[in-house]
Amino acid sequence: MLGAFRSNVAGTVAQRLSLRVGLSLAVGVILAACSGPGADVVGTTQSPVAAGELESVAVVTHGSAGDAFWNVVKNGAEAAGKELGVAVQYNSSGDPGQQAKLIDNAVAQGVDGLVVSMANPEALRLSVERAVAAGIPVVTINSGESESAAYGAFAHVGQSEGLAGQAAGRRLADAGRKKLLCVIHEAGNIGANQRCDGATRAFGNGATLQVDINNPTDAQSRINGALEADRSIDAVLTLNSQVAARAVDAVRESRSAATVATFDLNTDVVEAIRAGALLFAVDQQQYEQGYLPIVLLQLYRTNLNTVGGGTPVQTGPGFVDADNVEAVATLVAQGTR
């Protein structure tokens, strides 16, 4: 899916300075909440550059076309670009090779900053390193936290997937569930594997099931088959809001008593939580994964600021359940949650 360049937004110098100060403070609050006094600090290294203006940013993600999750990321990036007067170009591909080509194209265009999600880090390594070598500052988002600094990115914005998986597994165990099925929707997605590994480790008794997000009918059939084959499965954890709807249908079709929970939000997930068909959603607040990197690139290009000290800027996990779903429902509908 190709994003169009947003036109630069005119503003006075005073307005720009005021906005930058406010956003800098917001980032500082987030970082303070994410890294306590006992956090490990490994430092950040970046190539020496001269301070300048940030005029254009390419955002290249591994999102599939029409994926509600990535649409929210795009909305966040474009909103930050509009507020800061930065042209943001959003492109995505679920194919790692094509994603690498999109990064190479952005480098050839001479963008001032690059934002990349790395679900398959090794496939993107050379392209990201070429961007860094060309003097383009890079922020990674969502996936590839462990490889981010090694590839030359100066910051990572996202959710530590293993920790988020553990939190989800504990909540399902606390709900009295005994056997977990964790559904992976993208082969080769390192973040998906980390989520399921964390969930099964914390839950204590679980198995994984591979499905294809691009074939939702087959995904539902596979989940249905797993539930019919093993009636002791009483918890299903999906890693994507679109797959969650299929899991809910599979539980109904198989006449299973399993509880369903998911990662990520969309309007269907909100309605399923309201109806009691989903116990909770793990919300990594992906709007921030689009919005914050544009702010961080602006601060880096104009003031040579870095953040995190080598640790990620955490956007999650948060949880949406019956207790707070109404508070976020309107925000989900407007494309910011």
Give the pLDDT means over successive 10-residue stretches in the chain (337 positions). 37 39 43 40 51 93 88 97 98 96 98 97 98 97 95 96 96 97 92 95 95 94 97 97 96 97 95 97 97 98 90 94 96 94
Please state at what angle helix 286-303 crosses helix 68-84, rounded to 10 degrees: 30
The span from the CA of 191 to the CA of 249, in Å, is 25
pLDDT for residue 50: 66
Cβ contact 145:284 at 8 Å? no
Q: How confident is the model at residue 308, as a pLDDT?
A: 85
Write down the pLDDT at residue 29.
40
- Report the alpha-carbon angle 283-164-242, nearest 5: 45
The number of C-alpha atoms within 13 Å of 316 and in the hemisphere containing its C-beta is: 32
Peptide bond into 312 cis (omega under 30): no
* Order of strands, sheet of 259-263, starting from the edge strand that comes earlier in the sequence: 206-210, 180-184, 235-238, 259-263, 280-283, 318-321
The pLDDT value given to residue 157: 98
Q: What is the pLDDT of residue 309?
A: 84
Are 37 and 208 spatial neighbours (Cβ–Cβ below 8 Å)? no
Cα–Cα distances (Å) from 284 to 82, 122, 146, 160, 291, in that order, read 23, 24, 18, 9, 13
147, HSE (Cβ side, Cα atoms, 13 Å): 20
What per-residue confidence (pLDDT) applies to 46?
Answer: 52
* Predicted pLDDT at 5: 34
For residue 49, what pLDDT is reported?
60
Length of the chain, in residues: 337
Question: Whole-angstrom Cα distance, residue 314 to residue 295?
Answer: 15
